[in-house]
């Protein structure tokens, strides 16, 4: 027997039971972004590998270990996007959207791909909603991004479930100076570092700061801290962000070890973290990346953004039972028809009802069946009324309207009066 076909490990089907939750989250987020003036951009899922190598940076886990890269039939190296910022910047440059200092406030949503170890909250195909703002150098927009995510948490009922971690990485010069100091400090203690951190000491030393290894963390207690290396402008920028968060009443925790996995950040970095999901607790992460546009060949252009992990947020909403009950909305009306002639009339009647009562959730019985089996399906659909159409009803141009959720009597309603009858009934709740 042939092996049954399966989805790729870490790449999930989102089943019909789950899609309402996804849509609820996406719709809430989209109308919120709309309200803040952010516009959607749709980007390809596949880009030239070079974009990510240059944008995210060699030496990062994402580029070195996690990318799905392949040669196409034309021998060009392509990569399934591991994140959205690089592609967004590429598109902005390609279409001149940031030229002449134009402000752009953009968002995108969709699947991202990383070859990671699949586990709860960590998949190989996962989904992000990302937001990016260009040509705004000040702390006001950093704060705006955080404020709008805070509003989302409040709307979703998650305000008590997440905390904000904040840090500033300073200018790239300040960061470089800090990197040297950190490397010098750790080099002297090289033998005590875990293997991963030893490797990172040459590839991406700042990442050692968020090592999960206890001995490495103990070593870091005496290490130089990034905040001591902040340049004056970055310090002021950071003060500006904090002042705005204070004004908006948003609490935060300064985390000097927050450096983010991707190489392109400078100044503000932040993460929204929950302790309700176990190890994969970051649900939204972002920061400023003033150097990225230049790095990808554009004129120096300030940029700042974040991405949230849709799977983790859906998991969090499910875990905390915060999904509104009305997400799985039952049918309102179920049409039962008996015999070919009645089926034809039922179809026409149903379509007329849909015209007359837009948005009506109406199911027409499919596949025929006895009285008993059709009523069973009507009941299971959750509908409040079954409409019954047999030979007698057809002859009299009426339907039987049978309440399914209370004991009231079945009524016979003329076809022409049916829309009005149902409208009245369904509204009465
Ligand atoms: P982590 O430290 O959890 O690996 P990251 O720093 O690699 O996260 P980002 O690149 O900043 O993550 O992505 C932003 C958000 O996307 C994360 O905070 C998380 O919510 C989500 N995310 C990242 N990788 C995955 C994944 N493999 N599966 C599910 N969600 C993910
Ligand atoms: Mg990661």
The per-residue pLDDT for range 196-254, each reduced to its tens digit, is 899 888 888 888 888 888 899 898 888 998 889 999 999 999 999 999 999 999 999 99
The per-residue pLDDT for range 277-315, each reduced to its tens digit, is 998 899 999 999 999 999 999 999 999 999 999 999 999
Sheet arrangement for strand 362-364: 362-364, 333-337, 385-389, 398-403, 411-414
Q: Which residues pair with 344 in a beta bridge?
A: none
Nearest to 61 by CA among 204, 217, 270, 214: 204
How far does the centroid of ligand 1 lie from the alpha carbon of residue 277, in Å? Answer: 13
Q: Which atom of ligand 1 is nearest to the CA of 306?
A: 14
Are 67 and 81 in contact by the 8 Å Cβ rule? The answer is no
What pLDDT is recorded for position 388? 97
At residue 59, does pLDDT exceed 80? no
CA distance 157 to 402: 39
Tell me if 82 CB under 6 Å of ligand 1. Answer: no
Are 262 and 286 in contact by the 8 Å Cβ rule? The answer is no
At residue 260, does pLDDT exceed 80? no
Ligand 1, atom 11, residue with closest C-alpha: 285
The position carrying tokens 């369904």 is: 426
At residue 428, does pLDDT exceed 50? no
Tell me if 285 CB under 6 Å of ligand 1. Answer: yes
- Ligand sitting nearest the alpha carbon of 123: 1
At residue 329, does pLDDT exceed 90? no
Tell me if 210 CB under 6 Å of ligand 1. Answer: no
What pLDDT is recorded for position 429? 44
Q: Is the dihedral of CA 111, 115, 118, 120 positive or negative?
A: negative
What pLDDT is recorded for position 72? 97
What pLDDT is recorded for position 248? 97
* High-pLDDT (> 90) share of the chain, %: 81
At residue 87, does pLDDT exceed 90? yes
Ligand 1, atom 21, residue with closest C-alpha: 309
Instruction: Please give the structure tokens belonging to residue 382.
Output: 């959750």
What pLDDT is recorded for position 209? 87
Tell me if 10 CB under 6 Å of ligand 1. Answer: no
Tell me if 83 CB under 6 Å of ligand 1. Answer: yes
How confident is the prediction for the chain on average, in pLDDT?
94
How far does the centroid of ligand 1 lie from the alpha carbon of residue 118, in Å? Answer: 12
Nearest to 169 by CA among 222, 210, 230, 228: 230
Are 138 and 240 in contact by the 8 Å Cβ rule? The answer is yes
Tell me if 257 CB under 6 Å of ligand 1. Answer: no
Instruction: Please give the structure tokens belonging to residue 72.
Output: 């196409």
What pLDDT is recorded for position 261? 63
CA distance 55 to 58: 9
How far does the centroid of ligand 2 lie from the alpha carbon of residue 360, in Å? Answer: 44
- Ligand sitting nearest the alpha carbon of 285: 1
Tell me if 127 CB under 6 Å of ligand 1. Answer: no
Domains of the chain: 19-171+231-319 (3.30.930.10), 330-422 (3.40.50.800)
Residue 1's pLDDT band, with cuts at 50, 70 and 90, is: low
Tell me if 282 CB under 6 Å of ligand 1. Answer: yes
Instruction: Please give the structure tokens belonging to residue 225.
Output: 């801290």
The position carrying tokens 């702390």 is: 139
How far does the centroid of ligand 1 lie from the alpha carbon of residue 102, in Å? Answer: 30
The per-residue pLDDT for range 159-202, each reduced to its tens digit, is 999 999 999 999 888 888 898 999 999 999 999 999 989 988 88
- Ligand sitting nearest the alpha carbon of 121: 1
The per-residue pLDDT for range 13-37, each reduced to its tens digit, is 999 999 999 999 999 999 999 999 9
At residue 2, does pLDDT exceed 80? no
- The two beta strands, 303-309 and 333-337, are unpaired
Q: Which atom of ligand 1 is nearest to the CA of 210?
A: 2
Tell me the mean pLDDT in the region 139-147. Answer: 98
Nearest to 183 by CA among 231, 213, 217, 220: 220
How far does the centroid of ligand 2 lie from the alpha carbon of residue 261, in Å? Answer: 6
At residue 345, does pLDDT exceed 80? yes
For the chain, the three-class secondary structure string (H helix, E strand, C coil) is CCCCCCCCCCECCCCCCCHHHHHHHHHHHHHHHHHCCCEECCCCCEEEHHHHHHHCCCCCHHHHHHCEEEECCCCCEEEECCCCHHHHHHHHHHCCCCHHHCCEEEEEEEEEECCCCCECCECCEEEEEEEEEECCCCHHHHHHHHHHHHHHHHHHCCCCCEEEEEEECCCHHHHHHHHHHHHHHHHCCHHHCCHHHHHHHHHCHHHHHHCCCHHHHHHHCCCCCHHHHCCHHHHHHHHHHHHHHHHCCCCCEECCCCCCCCCCCEEEEEEEEECCCCCCCEEEEEEECCCHHHHCCCCCCCEEEEEEEHHHHHHHHHHCCCCCHHHCCCCCEEEEECCHHHHHHHHHHHHHHHHHCCCCCEEECCCCCCHHHHHHHHHHCCCCEEEEECHHHHHHCEEEEEECCCCCCCEEEEHHHHHHHHHHHHHCC
What pLDDT is recorded for position 160? 97
Hey, which of 8, 262, 280, 311 would you mutate to test ligand 1's pocket, going by the most ligand atoms within 8 Å of its Cβ?
A: 280
How far does the centroid of ligand 1 lie from the alpha carbon of residue 368, in Å? Answer: 49
Ligand 1, atom 23, residue with closest C-alpha: 309
CA distance 337 to 387: 8
What pLDDT is recorded for position 271? 97
Q: What are phi and psi of 69, to 5 degrees?
A: -120, 140
* High-pLDDT (> 70) share of the chain, %: 98
């Amino acid at each position: 027997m042939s092996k049954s076909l399966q989805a790729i490990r870490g790449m999930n089907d989102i089943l019909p039971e789950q899609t309402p939750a996804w849509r609820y989250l996406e719709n809430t987020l989209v109308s919120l972004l709309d309200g803040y003036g952010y516009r959607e951009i749709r980007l390809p899922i596949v880009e030239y590998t070079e974009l990510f190598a240059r944008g995210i940076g060699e030496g990062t886990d994402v580029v070195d270990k996690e990318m799905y890269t392949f040669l196409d039939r034309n021998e060009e190296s392509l990569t399934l996007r591991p994140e959205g910022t690089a592609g967004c910047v590429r598109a902005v440059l390609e279409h001149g959207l940031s030229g002449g200092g134009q402000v752009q406030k953009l968002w995108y949503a969709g699947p991202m791909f990383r070859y990671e170890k699949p586990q709860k909250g960590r998949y190989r195909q996962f989904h992000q909603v990302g937001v990016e703002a260009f040509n705004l150098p000040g702390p006001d927009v950093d704060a705006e991004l955080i404020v709008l995510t805070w509003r989302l948490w409040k709307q979703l009922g998650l305000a008590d479930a997440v905390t904000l971690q904040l840090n500033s990485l300073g200018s790239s010069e300040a960061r470089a100076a800090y990197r040297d100091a950190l490397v010098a400090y750790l080099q002297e203690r090289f033998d005590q570092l875990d293997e991963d951190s030893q490797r990172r000491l040459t590839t991406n030393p700042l990442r050692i700061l968020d090592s999960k290894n206890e001995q490495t963390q103990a070593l870091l207690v005496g290490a130089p801290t990034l905040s001591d290396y902040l340049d004056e402008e970055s310090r002021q920028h950071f003060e500006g962000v904090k002042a705005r968060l204070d004004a908006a009443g948003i609490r935060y925790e300064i985390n000097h070890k927050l450096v983010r996995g991707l190489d392109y950040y400078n100044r503000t970095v932040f993460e929204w973290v929950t302790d309700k999901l176990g190890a994969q607790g970051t649900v939204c992460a972002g920061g400023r990346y003033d150097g990225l546009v230049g790095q990808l060949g554009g004129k120096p252009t300030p940029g700042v953004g974040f991405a949230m992990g849709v799977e983790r947020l859906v998991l969090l909403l499910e875990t905390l039972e915060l999904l509104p009950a009305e997400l799985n909305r039952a049918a309102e009306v179920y049409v039962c028809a008996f015999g070919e002639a009645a089926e034809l009339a039922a179809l026409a009647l149903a379509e007329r009802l849909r015209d007359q009562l837009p948005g009506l959730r109406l199911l027409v019985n499919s596949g025929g069946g006895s009285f008993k089996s059709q009523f069973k399906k009507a009941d299971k659909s959750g509908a409040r009324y079954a409409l019954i159409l047999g030979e007698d009803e057809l002859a009299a141009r009426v339907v039987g309207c049978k309440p399914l959720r209370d004991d009231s009597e079945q009524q016979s309603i003329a076809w022409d009066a049916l829309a009005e009858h149902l409208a009245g009934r369904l509204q009465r709740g």
